[in-house]
A and B are shown apart, each in its own frame.
Chain A
Amino acid sequence: MAQVKNRLTPFFENITFDREDNELILNFGPQHPSSHGQLRLMLHLQQEQIVKAHPDIGYLHRGMEKMAENMIYNEFMPTTDRMDYVASSSNNYGFALSVEKLVGLEVPRRAKVIRMMLLEINRLMSHLFWLATTALDIGAMTIFLFAFREREYLMDIIEGYCGARLTHAAIRIGGVPLDIQDSFIAQLKTFLDKLPANIKDYEDLLDTNRIWLMRMEEVGTIPTDMALSWGCTGPMLRASGVAWDIRKEEPYELYDEVEFNVPWSDKGDNFARYRIYMEEMRESAKILYQTIDMYQECVKNGQTELMAHAPQYISAPKLDIMTQNYSLMQHFVLVTQGMRPPVGEVYVATESPKGELGFFINSQGGAYPYRLKLRAPSFWHTGILTDLLPGHYIPDVVSIIGTTNIVFGEVDR
């Protein structure tokens, strides 16, 4: 093939680089290591100070909403893994729950307990990942290694459960496909017993660290009304003075049966967000201890069911499929044609590690969702940079992006 000249020229919208007013325009990303993915920021600078910020997203856009319209409901489940790939079970769960609400399924108690375990493990994995990468951006290499070490234990547990480390697809519509493995609880307990000491290690290294405090305290302050107006949820909102946790306020699964606190702060700065992530890890550990007890109670009471019983929507257990003709027929129809939920709309929000993860489904009674809108928290946590960054200095950009905890699989979808 003949050598062809590369015609890919940069395309800048409404931006002139020759300016008389001493303003510098800096193109930050999309390949910047601390942009946590493919974030491009156009920063207008007066010396080191940012006067205007323009986040540009879409570099990881895969059209998941379009894909959802072309997949049967069960087919879409592994695709949700690729949204927030740091905590993929939370996405699986959000989708499964919204379809269950649409159809009106009741999930067996044992499956609910296992789901809660997976969700909280995912929350811990996500928060540890956040801590590692944010600390690394600010220059704390030790924390990065420590937190990744702990995350590795959790990934091993998850790998033992579903065979995957990042893209779990561990939750099904109507329950969970498998019971937890024999070693699961022992491994989890070993991890949880060590976790308080680990968190203390991180805090010893960071809480009074001068560099960390300079990058965190009084930097990136989000007032309450701005956080609400920009649709912030999760730790971003709780750091800005609103103690809103969907697990507590609109409980799903068995979150109304477990005891945990919702850490919040009215400071709104980076440091408040950092403290909330640390406290949430402790709360997750508390929930996990309680779910272990709940699981053992299920075992004692002989509750073995893992999938909801709804032959019209969910395949029968494997034993029935292999022994009973009618179950096999239903299974065949559900696999080849897919379930057909009733006509209607549903919006279900769950508390993912990043914030409110919502699934809006409009079903016209077909095997494919007519419209599926993914409400990913990171989308608006990126948008808020438009209003948050002006007034800050260049070095603060990295720490602010870090504490917003955005994941680009979720922003671009």
Chain B
Amino acid sequence: MRAYKPKGNVQAKPYYTDRYWQAPQVAKFDVESDEVFAADLAAIKAKFEVSDAFIQVEQMTVWINPSDIYGVLELMKDELEYTQLSEMSAIDFLEQRDEFEIFYQMLSMNKRKRIRIKFSIKNGQAVDSVSNLFRCADWSEREMFDMFGIEANGHPFMKRILMPYDWQGYPLLKTYPLEGDEFAAWYEVDKIYGKEARDVIGPEIRDTARIDRYDSERFARLGHEVPFGMDPDKEENKDKAQSYQEDGGVFLIKKLDKESSVVIDDPQR
């Protein structure tokens, strides 16, 4: 039986962590320590429910209810002079508590202050679109949908933006492996050549730095490279070796002499 590996988070993990190690925290400060932030928070609190607020690395974070997001951003834009939405996206906490954290990074140029509005939504829940308030949210929400599968209610054009239109899966989820899933491995083969070519071409290896160390057939046969799928040891293929060097040679680069290069047959040598 194969060993069980948790699938909730397949991203890279450190190979060793001290069992007594406790992660330190970035210092959080009270909102009252900054006058401008305190006034802004009071204005938000007057109309909406705020579950938590603190200052971290010179910026205020305000936790609100998911349903209030449009109202809060409208208030901030119209009354509190936060005229720009710098950035918004999601953070995947599905493995820990089946939730996404959504953040909206706001900037006030008059006050020279930045506020981060945050809330959590359950898996499968949608957020309210703010693209009526800030046009840039149009593209940000599309990107969030593309990467996490979180839809925005009331968005004019909820389509993928970075990945192909017919892509399956959401790449920034923690459950999605870095090198892509089964769909990704066959996407281009299926689309360009058709499913029946799968046997001939094989799945796409998306890790370009990958070296198959057991492949003693094609790897490191300088001067004797053959096209993919061709057996280099067969007699009729001997003269079909590909050459990657210009005939005349290149300045400063030594021309490879094929006769003097050796093919090592025994990898265990």
Contacts from A to B (Cβ < 8 Å): 1-2, 4-8, 11, 13, 57-58, 61, 63, 65-67, 69-71, 101-102, 104, 226, 228-231, 242, 244, 249-250, 337-338, 340-349, 356, 358, 360, 362-368, 370-371, 373, 375, 379-380, 383-384, 386-387, 412-413
B38 at interface (Cβ–Cβ under 8 A)? no
CA distance A386 to B191 in the complex (A): 29
Bound state CA distance, A244 and B147, in angstroms? 31
Contact sample, A vs B, 13 pairs, CB 8 Å cutoff: A1-B200, A11-B166, A13-B159, A58-B162, A65-B147, A69-B178, A231-B135, A341-B26, A363-B26, A364-B23, A367-B14, A375-B86, A375-B87
Known: A7-B193, A231-B86, A368-B11. A58 touches B164 (CB 8 A): yes
Whether A344 touches B59, Cβ cut-off 8 Å, given contacts A1-B229, A70-B12, A231-B134, is no
User: Given the complex of chains A and B, what is the CA–CA distance between A143 and B56 in angstroms?
Assistant: 47
Per-position contact with A for B131-161: 1 when CB-CB < 8 Å, else 0? 0001110110000000100000000000111
**Do B12 and A71 touch (CB < 8 A)?**
yes
- Give the size range of B's interface with the partner: 35 or more
User: Are the CB atoms of B109 and A249 closer together than 8 Å?
Assistant: yes
Nearest-CB residue, chain B, relative to A369? B11
B contact residues around A358 at 8 Å (CB): 86-87, 105
Interface digits, B105-121 against A, CB 8 Å rule (1 contact, 0 not)? 10101001010100000
Find chain B residues with CB under 8 A from A344 CB.
25-26, 28, 56-57
Complex contact A368–B112 (CB within 8 A): no
Supply 6 further A-B pairs (C-beta < 8 A) apart from A4-B193, A349-B107, A358-B87: A8-B192, A102-B57, A249-B109, A338-B14, A380-B139, A387-B135
Cross-chain contact of B135 among A226, A356, A379 (Cβ < 8 A): A226
Least CB distance, A120 to chain B, in whole angstroms: 23
Q: In the bound complex, do residue B87 and residue A11 qualify as a contact, i.e. CB atoms below 8 Å apart?
A: no
Distance in Å: Cβ of A201 to nearest Cβ of chain B: 34
Q: Are B165 and A13 in contact (CB under 8 A)?
A: yes
Question: Chain B's interface: helix, strand, loop or mixed, by majority?
Answer: loop
A242: nearest chain-B partner, CB-CB: B109
Asked if A345 contacts B26 (CB within 8 A), the reply is yes
Instruction: Verify if B16 is at the interface (C-beta below 8 Å from A).
Output: yes
* A104 proximity list for chain B (CB < 8 A): 26
CB distance from B100 to the nearest CB of A (A): 11
Inter-chain contact A346/B57, CB cutoff 8 Å: yes
Find chain A residues with CB under 8 A from B83 CB. 228
Question: B186 on the interface (CB 8 Å rule)?
Answer: no
Bound-complex Cα distance A100 to B15 (A): 24
**Alpha-carbon distance A358/B26, docked complex (angstroms):** 19
Give chain A residues whose Cβ lies under 8 Å from the Cβ of B114: 347, 349
Q: Is B85 an interface residue (CB 8 A)?
A: yes
Residue of A nearest to B87 (CB): A375
Q: Which residues of B contact A242 (CB under 8 A)?
A: 109
* Residue contact B192 to A6, C-beta cutoff 8 Å: yes
Distance (Å) between the CB of A21 and the closest chain B CB? 21
State how many angstroms separate the Cβ of A144 from the closest Cβ of chain B: 27
Query: What is the CA–CA distance of A229 and B57 in the complex, to the nearest angstrom?
Result: 26
Q: Compute how far the CA of A230 lies from the CA of B164 in the bound complex, rounded to whole angstroms.
A: 24
Judge if B220 is at the interface, Cβ distance under 8 Å: no
Residue among A242, A345, A379 having the largest count of chain B Cβ atoms under 10 Å: A345
Complex Cα distance, B92 from A2, in Å, reads 45
**Beta-carbon nearest neighbor of B200 in chain A:** A1
Distance, CA A329 to CA B140, complexed state (A): 43
Least distance between A37 CB and chain B CB atoms (Å): 14
Contacts of A13 in B (CB 8 A): 159, 165
Bound Cα distance A349, B164 (Å)? 30
Question: Provided the pairs A7-B193, A226-B135, A375-B87 are in contact, do residues A347 and B105 lie with their beta carbons within 8 angstroms?
Answer: yes
Do residues A229 and B193 form an inter-chain contact, with CB atoms below 8 A? Answer: no
